[in-house]
Structure 1
Amino acid sequence: MKLGIRRQLIISFILAIILPVVITLVLLRVFTVKVNTNTEFEYLATPDLFFENTTRKIQDDFSNVTNHSTIKIALREYFESLDGSLIIMDIEGKVLFDSEDSNVYEKNIIQEFDTQYGSDLNIMIAKDDLVKYVKPIIINRQLVGNAIYEFNEQTMADARMSEIVIYLAISFLAGIAAFVLLMVLMTINISRNILIPINKLSVATERVAKGELDFVIDCSRKDEIGVFCEAFDSMKNQLKDSLLRQKEQDEAKKQLIASISHDLRTPMTSIKGYVEALKDGKAKDEITFKKYLTVIENKTAGLDRLIDDLVIFSKLETGKMDMHLASLNSQELLEGIASIKEQELSLTQCQLIIKRPFPSVRIEADKERMMQVVDNIFNNSIKYSSGNCLIMLESKVISKSLRIVMEDNGPGIHEDDLMHIFQQFYRGDKSRSREHGGTGLGLAICKYIIEEHGGKIWAESAIGKGTRITIELPIIESDIYNAINDVMSADGS
């Protein structure tokens, strides 16, 4: 499982803190062991034991004591550790070995020791920083001489302290170096995992700002940056779709303006012609006069519908379309609408089939807006019918909803157009649109009104098989039980 950026950063910072400390502590431990096992520090811990061991080596090789090179090799540890001097003499005070060739001075010292302490010596004299150790040399339980060790204790201590300081410095510098190395690695990791992808996103943002939307961002990562890349790519695609829709709407608006110009000019020209005919007295009889007035009335009604659609569209665009929802009885609402449509369609060639009785449930609805929805759907059915017009209206309760169905026997809608008919300005087949006119706003207005009621609307159609528009409105919760009982009773009867 790939770690996310947050976990990577947390682990990196923890390592950057802990690992240098661990390295420092490990080195301190190693150097501590080295100091504890180093003969150079043995004197500081157990000086008597150190000089006894050295004296024992002299005893073991006493026969070669006059051979300087042999003794210096045998006592190399002493000379390297303390950087001191050594005098070996017999019991008569004769100097057998002098590392500094200062026999006279050392003889005086021996004489002083003989005067004060006798010949069998095991003493230490410290004067200022100079330390002298005198150890007896005993072979086969007989005193054969003395070894006089002399060194500067402060110089030796300073040297040892310098070495300890060096060990400490190495330990802490190693910890600091580890910290710096980890910080460099963290910087490289952050650059590779965060900064480089962000730079790519920055470049992508600039491309989007320039209007370039046809490119893909690499989103192969599975961490937060990958999620961010996917979100950015999704946003880019949504922006692209939005711009395409905006372009389509702009094109539709242009077509709408051209259509409105045509739809306004044509009836206005017709009205103007009939008005001039009436003014010129061409209507010689009452029948002709009424015929002219009927034409003018119909053309004016068409203009009213066009203006109404534009006014409603303006309200939709500005969000100022008011809904006056109230608790209504569905049967009373539908009966009122059906009665009006029966009366209107009786004056046309369209036949209206109403499947009664309507369900009696309570819904939240705006009576005028629901009438407007039915008007728009019926007007479309009448507009696109080819003479023998048939419209069916029915309603029933489905689960927790009131379903209203309006179906006609018109020419139907092409499958490619069906998914767009509720969009603003969409008018499907251009040749049919020019022939029948309209703004392409009717069904878009219906969709808006129904959705404001908390319902939904959809269409089913096929070429040559008519169109079926279905509306579903939610039933008021307290009335659902009664509605279900009514449905069950109707099914039982």
Structure 2
Amino acid sequence: MYLKIWMKKWLWSILICVSLLFICFLLLLLTTVKQNEEPSNKYVINQIRLQVNNVLLYIEDHFTSFEQNLNLRNSLQEMSNSLDIDITIVQLDGKIIFNSIEEDPSQFISLKNDLHYDLFTSQQQPGIIKIAFPIVSKTNEQLGNAIFTIDKDVLFPMEQPSTSIFSILFLSGLICFLIIGLAIYITRKANKEILLPLNNLKKSTEEIVKGNYEQKTEYPRVDEIGELYAVFDQMRLEIKNLTIQRDEQEQNQKKLISSISHEVRTPLTTIKAYLDAISEGICPDMDSLMSYIQIMQTNTEKMSRLIDDLFIHTLKELGHIPVNLTEQYSKDVFTNILHPIHHYVQTTGIHFIEPEYIPNVLIRADEHRLEQVLSNLITNALKHTSKGNSITVSINIENQLLYINVIDNGNGMLPEDMPFIFERYFRGIQATSETAVKNEGAGLGLSICKHIMEAHNGSISFKSKQNIGTTFTLTLPII
């Protein structure tokens, strides 16, 4: 709104300035014209002298004969008529000896009141100029006075106003009109192409603040405002996706807390039950006691794995999973990892097949983190296999990469689960089925495995077919 008000003020300021400028120019032009129309007294007297010079010379040459010579008087009358000037000849004593407008002129005039050597304009008859010139003989003796009465229009014929003045006035008006029109056009265009789109963008922003991410912003032109609209719409979609991800994450975290609460409660309940049995002396012999202890140990390990997964997941969320890469030989690393896993798998009744040959190449690795990855993959394989099935680990080199394959011939994955297995919290549809007890876990393992392998500049991938089995493949670069 502030920008709109500012533009209105800006437009009015331009209009006022242009109007004042035009008025000042018009007043200046009128003043100039008026000054040209009203010449100075000195200029007027000079013009009159030029106009009547021949007449005045004629009078001076024949002054002594005017009163008696009718021909001279008639000649002077003709001059008066041809020049459209009234002529009065007066002697030094004020006696009129010739008057071009009166056949029987007054005999005398008042030299004090009617004789003026300077410019005199009759107040009773505006536009009439009345001036006297002395009549001088050849010996420079003043003989009398000649009074000339001239119409100002005769002396200064009405001229058509200068074409240049009209041109300047027209051009000035045209320029002012163009400036005003341009200001109005710019204001309207700015209002249509800047203020209105910005106002629409503001409304869309308010909708986003309210949580409505579905209102799409569109702008038909490909310009700076159009680019702003495009970036804004990308931002809207990004915020929408982030909001959906946040909501999904919050929902998954709630499910995770519920799942962990249940999964921790189960082994704790089991441990408590066996401890109560031992404390009450229910165990009949040492073999039964050792069996109880074995069961409690198994449940303790389950809780420990859950807590370890949650701890590593928390570090991953904070971006703080430490992976300390050092140069090591692959044979030593994987021998140390697979030997204890072999013993553990054998106790479950699953046949574990170690690699026949482990390539002895130099790699950059964190043995502890790789052990977590392989343990997680083999633990997942155990969840999907039954007694009599097998888990195979093979290691080979191809294209300067070390490939580690973990293969089982268990149940395999459901096709609908495959796109999501590396997402955190995902436990698969089987986690809610009748096999849920077997598929215990927080759904964090594979997400953490992916993070660890990427920290090794390697990768993790899989292929699976239901009721046939699953193969996970790890790759590590060879130095």
Tell me the TM-score range normalised by the shorter chain: 0.5 to 0.7
2:432: which partner in 1?
Answer: 431
Identity over aligned pairs, percent: 29
1:449 alignment partner, one of 445, 452, 456 = 452
Change (3 A) 1:422 1:98: farther
CA displacement at 1:328 relative to structure 2: 2.3
CA displacement at 1:152 relative to structure 2: 4.0
Query: 1:102 and 2:102 equivalent?
Result: no
1:328: which partner in 2?
Answer: 328
Q: Kindly provide the amino acid, as one letter, of the partner of residue 461 in structure 2.
A: W
How far apart, in 1, do the equivalents of 2:213 and 2:178 lie? 46
CA displacement at 1:319 relative to structure 2: 2.8
1:291: which partner in 2?
Answer: 291
How far apart, in 1, do the equivalents of 2:394 and 2:427 lie? 26
Q: Kindly provide the amino acid, as one letter, of the partner of residue 469 in structure 2.
A: G
CA displacement at 1:271 relative to structure 2: 0.8
The structure whose residues are more often helix, as a share, is 1
User: What is the CA RMSD across the aligned residues, in angstroms?
Assistant: 3.7
CA displacement at 1:382 relative to structure 2: 0.5
- 1:112-261 matches, within 5 Å, as 151-152=155-156, 160=162, 164-261=164-261
How far apart, in 1, do the equivalents of 2:80 and 2:392 lie? 135
Q: Kindly provide the amino acid, as one letter, of the partner of residue 323 in structure 2.
A: M
Q: Kindly provide the amino acid, as one letter, of the partner of residue 318 in structure 1.
A: L
How far apart, in 2, do the equivalents of 1:166 and 1:356 lie? 110
TM-score for the superposition, normalised by structure 1: 0.63
CA displacement at 1:342 relative to structure 2: 2.1
CA deviation string 1:94-148 (max 9, x = no partner): 6389588435379999xxxxxxxxxxxxxxxxx99x9xxxxxxxxxxxxxxxxxx
How far apart, in 2, do the equivalents of 1:211 and 1:98 lie? 101
Change (3 A) 1:336 1:156: same
CA deviation string 1:283-310 (max 9, x = no partner): 2222222111111110111111011111
Q: Counterpart of 1:471 in 2: which secondary structure? A: strand
Query: 1:461 and 2:448 equivalent?
Result: no
Query: 1:318 and 2:318 equivalent?
Result: yes
1:373: which partner in 2?
Answer: 373
Contact preservation (8 Å) 2:404, 2:475: yes
How far apart, in 2, do the equivalents of 1:105 and 1:348 lie? 153
CA displacement at 1:277 relative to structure 2: 1.6
2:407: which partner in 1?
Answer: 407
Q: Counterpart of 2:436 in 1: which secondary structure? A: helix
1:338: which partner in 2?
Answer: 338
1:81: which partner in 2?
Answer: none
Contact preservation (8 Å) 1:313, 1:441: yes
Higher deviation after alignment, 167-176 or 413-422? 167-176
Change (3 A) 1:99 1:442: farther
Change (3 A) 1:328 1:197: farther
How far apart, in 1, do the equivalents of 2:461 and 2:81 lie? 118
Q: Kindly provide the amino acid, as one letter, of the partner of residue 229 in structure 1.
A: Y
Change (3 A) 1:360 1:201: farther
Q: Counterpart of 1:396 in 2: which secondary structure? A: strand
Query: 1:384 and 2:367 equivalent?
Result: no
Q: Counterpart of 1:348 in 2: which secondary structure? A: coil
Query: 1:474 and 2:477 equivalent?
Result: yes
2:3: which partner in 1?
Answer: none
CA deviation string 1:372-430 (max 9, x = no partner): 01111111110222333322222334435433222222212222221111111111114
Contact preservation (8 Å) 2:80, 2:86: no
How far apart, in 2, do the equivalents of 1:188 and 1:289 lie? 92
Q: Counterpart of 2:270 in 1: which secondary structure? A: helix
Contact preservation (8 Å) 1:259, 1:437: no
Unaligned runs of 5+ in 2: 1-17, 19-73, 90-97, 101-117, 120-128, 130-152
Higher deviation after alignment, 288-297 or 219-228? 219-228
Contact preservation (8 Å) 1:259, 1:434: no
Instruction: Return the structure number with greater relative CO, CA threshold 8 A, min gap 6.
Output: 1
Unaligned runs of 5+ in 1: 1-19, 21-90, 110-126, 131-148, 480-493
Aligned residues: 355
How far apart, in 1, do the equivalents of 2:82 and 2:353 lie? 135
